[in-house]
Amino acid sequence: MKRTKTAMKTSLGYSEDHAKSGLSTTLPELETWPNQYKGYEITIDIPEYTAICPKTGLPDFGTIRIHYMPDQHCVELKSLKLYIHAYRNVGIFYENAVNRILQDFVKACRPVRATVTGEFTARGGLRSLIEARYP
């Protein structure tokens, strides 16, 4: 695909460092507990997500929703709360945050399936809804 001048202009000012920001930040470990049942689903809403835009340094706000079918383990909610609140001082784009949360969640819980949705507060007349799924 040929890049136009307009397409090139949209990426000006965004560096590879911006794009990767927050992906390797150390966050609290997600803990689990042994699941006793099969075939049910869990939805967890976290309405107090905050992070920092790596480009502007302005705060981002939103709701993170985790919907999953547990297999052998369920996530321990206090550890999830501490994990999500640790994003407060992390510079990370919405898309990266949602995918990172899914990646870390799947690594800890090994669910049958999981979906992480980020619904971010409107800024400048735009509202974003990001969704990542496993498998």
Per DSSP, 89 falls in state G
94 is in an annotated binding site: yes
H or E segment and range at residue 58: none
For the chain, the straight-line distance linking the first and the last C-alpha, in angstroms and rounded, comes to 29
77 is in an annotated binding site: yes
| Active-site annotation, residues | 53, 60
95 is in an annotated binding site: yes
- Cβ contact 45:62 at 8 Å: no
Distance CA 29, CA 40 (A): 24
Residue list for the binding site for substrate: 75-77, 94-95
Residue list for the binding site: 75-77, 94-95
